[in-house]
A and B are shown apart, each in its own frame.
Chain A
Amino acid sequence: MQTIDLTEVGLRETNATLHAQSGDTNQTVWEIINPRGSHAIACGLNAPIEVTVRGSTGYYCAGMNQQATVNIDGSAGPGTGENIMSGKIVIEGDASQYLGATGHGGLIVVKGNASSRCGISMKGVNIVVQGNVGHMSAFMGQSGNLVVLGDAGDALGDSCYEARFFVRGEVKSLGADCEKKEMRPEHIAFLKEILAEAEIEADPSEFTRYGSARNLYNFDVDNAGAY
Chain B
Amino acid sequence: MNKHDPKGIPHTTPRQSATFTQDVNSDIRRAAATGIYDIRGGGAKRKVPSFDDLLFMGASISRYPLEGYREKCDTNVTIGGLNASNPIELDIPITIAGMSFGALSGPAKEALGRGASAAGTSTTTGDGGMTPEERGHSDKLVYQYLPSRYGMNPNDLRKADAIEIVVGQGAKPGGGGMLLGQKISDRVAEMRNLPKGIDQRSACRHPDWTGPDDLEIKILELREITGWKVPIYVKVAGARPYYDTTLAVKAGADAVVLDGMQGGTAATQDVFIEHVGLPTLAIVRPAVQALQDLGMHRKVQLILSGGIRSGADVAKAMALGADAVAIGTAALIALGDNDPKWEAEYNKLGTTAGAYDDWHEGQDPAGITTQDPDLMARFDPIEGGRRLRNYLKVMTLEAQTIARACGKNHLHNLEPEDLVALTMEAAAMAKVPLAGTDWYPGKTGTRY
Contacts and interface: CB of A to CB of B under 8 A. Distances in A.
B207 A218 contact: no
Interface string A112-149: 00000100110110000000000000011011000000
B208 A79 contact: yes
Contacts of B203: 121, 140
Given A40-B217, A82-B208, A98-B208, A162 B224 contact: no
Interface residues of B, number: 31
A143 B34 CA distance: 32
A98 B78 CA distance: 35
Contact of A11 (B157, B197, B198, B224): B224
Interface in A25-83: 39-40, 43-44, 46, 58-60, 63-64, 66, 78-79, 82-83
27 contacts: A12-B228, A16-B227, A40-B220, A43-B224, A44-B225, A58-B217, A63-B225, A64-B154, A64-B225, A78-B214, A79-B208, A79-B221, A82-B207, A85-B153, A98-B207, A104-B193, A117-B207, A120-B208, A121-B148, A121-B207, A123-B149, A123-B193, A142-B194, A161-B194, A161-B198, A219-B180, A221-B34
Contact of A78 (B35, B149, B153, B208): B208
Interface string B204-236: 000111000010011011001111100000000
- Residue among B34, B152, B207 facing the most chain A CB atoms (10 A cut-off): B207
Interface string A158-199: 000110000000000000000000000000000000000000
Interface in A203-220: 217-219
A175 to B, nearest CB: 14
Contacts of A39: 217, 220-221
A101 interface: yes
Given A161-B195, A217-B198, A19 B227 contact: yes
B27 interface: no
Given A15-B224, A44-B225, 18 more contacts: A12-B224, A16-B227, A19-B227, A43-B221, A58-B217, A59-B209, A59-B218, A60-B217, A64-B153, A64-B154, A79-B209, A83-B152, A101-B208, A102-B207, A104-B153, A219-B180, A219-B199, A221-B34
Contacts of B153: 64, 83, 85, 104
A139 B34 CA distance: 29
Q: Across the A-B interface, give the 6 residue pairs with the lowest CB-CB distance, nearest first.
A: A44-B225, A221-B35, A79-B208, A98-B208, A102-B149, A101-B208
Nearest to B154: A64
B266 to A, nearest CB: 16
Contacts of B194: 142, 161
B198 A218 contact: yes
B interface, over-half SS: loop
A145 B335 CA distance: 43
Contacts of B224: 11-12, 15, 40, 43-44
B87 interface: no
A150 to B, nearest CB: 23
Contacts of A120: 207-208
Contacts of B180: 219
B154 A83 contact: yes
B302 to A, nearest CB: 27
B416 interface: no
Contact of A60 (B35, B154, B218, B228): B218
B217 to A, nearest CB: 5
A interface, over-half SS: loop
- Residue among A15, A58, A83 facing the most chain B CB atoms (10 A cut-off): A83
B65 interface: no
A20 B209 CA distance: 28
A102 B217 contact: no
B18 interface: no
Contacts of B36: 219, 221
B58 interface: no
Interface in B115-154: 148-149, 152-154
A16 B214 CA distance: 23
Given A102-B208, A120-B207, A219-B199, A142 B221 contact: no
B154 A46 contact: yes
B154 A217 contact: no
Interface string B146-180: 00110011100100000000000000000000001
B36 to A, nearest CB: 5
Nearest to B35: A221
Contacts of B199: 217-219
B81 interface: no
Contacts of B148: 121
Contacts of A19: 227
A77 B193 CA distance: 27
Contacts of B225: 43-44, 63-64
Nearest to B192: A142
Contacts of A124: 193
B193 A142 contact: yes
B242 to A, nearest CB: 27
A142 B190 CA distance: 12
Interface string B178-204: 001100000000000111011100010
A134 to B, nearest CB: 14
Contacts of A143: 193
Nearest to B216: A39
A173 to B, nearest CB: 20
Contacts of A82: 207-208
Contacts of A102: 149, 152, 207-208
A188 B239 CA distance: 50
B174 to A, nearest CB: 15
A19 B227 CA distance: 9
B342 to A, nearest CB: 28
A64 B149 contact: no
A101 B35 CA distance: 35
A89 to B, nearest CB: 14
